[in-house]
Amino acid sequence: MKEINCKLLVIGAGPGGYVCAIRAGQLGVDTVIVEMTKAGGTCLNIGCIPSKAIIHAADEFHRASEMAAGRNAMGIRADNPAIDLSRTIAWKDGIVGRLTNGVAGLVKKAGVKIVVGRAKFRDGKTVVVETETGQQIIRAEAIVIATGSAPVELPMLPFGGKVISSTEALSLREVPRTLAVVGGGYIGLELGTAFAKLGSKVTIIEALDRVLPLYDKQLTQPVAKRLSALGVELLLQTKVRGQSGNGESLLIETADGEEKRIHADKVLVTVGRRPVTEGWGREELELDMLGPFLKVDDQCRTSMRGIYAIGDVTGEPMLAHRAMAQGEMVAEIVSGKRRSWDRRAIPAVCFTDPEIVSVGLSPDEARASGTEIKIGQFPFTANGRAMTLLAEDGFVRVVARADNHLVLGIQAVGAGVSELSAAFGLALEMGSRLEDIAGTIHAHPSQSEGLAEAAMKALGHALHI
């Protein structure tokens, strides 16, 4: 097969890789992208998008079930709601298909060549791709490693059989009667909640003393409350020992050292994700590492000239939008533009029930940096729109410097607050002060009023509380 020579080669067409390729194509850079499965990576195929589809379906079904059970404040009645999970999955697959085809289309439209196959470095300028039709050698001036991450497997609970990762959980054809979720991070909680709403009896096993350990207790408290209302059993400070001999039950060790067996039709392991740093020929290169990740500088350059890395393979936070921003930046650098990473805020969203969004510093983080702070918190119980949505749980919280009121962080927990992340992120990137937010008219009635009120609260003059 004829060798391909190009200016830029991107390995991996996840959110980081495909954005990098599109942007490079826009800028007239001769670009090739290699992907071994479908464009879109974890995010589009087996992560963000499919999980949100399932979560939404579960929400809708749960709402209908509540109505059928007569638990509906609005007076809506429904009879015998049912869900056909295989049709739900088909609907989800339709969305994923449209998106991945869309991405492939966008990449092509940008003039980027897509090569399907498994890429492997031969040296710092050459990559060999195993395609269906044989070996394709690609030589490039610049190469971007965007190989992403994969679910972490527990040695005593290897994937297979009833032990599944998030990938399989998003493609189940039947709702499991009982589901054990190992790991109380955001993926475990999102999926655990969804399955609880679909009718599974869910048990969440977490080794630490609370769920969502990356967020402060104030933010996670409404989530814990909701889990309990949904009948999800939370086993905190509990370790998984493995499966029983016949594979029937899960062996766990509780906080007081007691060994227990719990029955689960499916065991969903969500104990984190690891960067994919093997299987693409890293051994042929001399790349500095930072822990398990590839080490990059503020221009996403690795320790080898002409080799960049973006996305989950470069470290936390492993979020699609971070990878996209990195990909865009690297494309612009390769095209000769002067760029460097100077983003102030990477919003993080948990699509739990209720949702959590966090941008910038939490109060504890701000205090830890030695800054004197002001905090303004506004509860949705005082927000008209939240009442009409039956979504009064949660609040918006603004953290600002005490001296000049510079906003350092904004967090919220509540139904649908993921959409507020835009306003939060903008406020931080623009270097807003509390007065800027308080001085912006927020539409009434909307949950976003909570943001302005929280800023006013921090300034000492909230109006509706």
Angle in degrees, CA 9, 14, 19, rounded to 5: 65
* Active-site option among 62, 442, 444, 464: 444
Binding string, 286-325, against another protein, x = CB under 8 A?
A: ----------------------------------------
Q: Give CA–CA dist 226/312, Å, rounded.
A: 30
| Interface with another protein, residue 406, by CB under 8 A | yes
We find the least distance from the C-beta atom of residue 438 to another protein, in angstroms, to be 12
Token pair listed for 68: 């059928």
Assess contact for 252 and 238: CB atoms under 8 A.
yes
We find the least distance from the C-beta atom of residue 439 to another protein, in angstroms, to be 11
We find the least distance from the C-beta atom of residue 103 to another protein, in angstroms, to be 25
Instruction: Report the DSSP beta bridge partners of residue 123.
Output: 126
Q: E strand or H helix at 245, and its extent?
A: none
Token pair listed for 229: 């209302």
Determine the interface stretch with another protein among 115-123, 129-137, 261-269, 430-438 (rule: CB under 8 A): 430-438
Angle in degrees, CA 284, 320, 360, rounded to 5: 115
Pick from 73, 272, 45: nearest CA to 154: 272
| Interface with another protein, residue 430, by CB under 8 A | yes
| Interface with another protein, residue 336, by CB under 8 A | no
Determine the interface stretch with another protein among 136-144, 178-186, 267-275, 399-407 (rule: CB under 8 A): 399-407
We find the least distance from the C-beta atom of residue 425 to another protein, in angstroms, to be 10
Length of the chain: 465
337, 387, 388, 390: residue in contact with another protein (rule CB under 8 A): 337
| Interface with another protein, residue 339, by CB under 8 A | yes
Give the residue carrying structure tokens 């087996």. 46
| Interface with another protein, residue 338, by CB under 8 A | yes
| Interface with another protein, residue 422, by CB under 8 A | no
| Interface with another protein, residue 4, by CB under 8 A | no
Q: E strand or H helix at 51, and its extent?
A: helix 48-68
Q: Is 444 a catalytic residue?
A: yes
Binding string, 436-465, against another protein, x = CB under 8 A?
A: x-----------------------------
Determine the longest span between alpha carbons in the chain, in angstroms. 71
| Interface with another protein, residue 246, by CB under 8 A | no
321, 374, 405, 457: residue in contact with another protein (rule CB under 8 A): 405
Helices (H), 69-179: 85-109, 166-169
80, 133, 246, 404: residue in contact with another protein (rule CB under 8 A): 404
| Interface with another protein, residue 402, by CB under 8 A | no
**DSSP assignment of 268-327, as one string?**
EE-S-EEE--SSS-GGGS---EETTEEP--TT-B-SSTTEEE-GGGG-SS--HHHHHHHH
Catalytic residue annotation:
444
For another protein, the binding residues (CB under 8 A) are 337-340, 342-344, 401, 404-406, 429-431, 433, 435-436
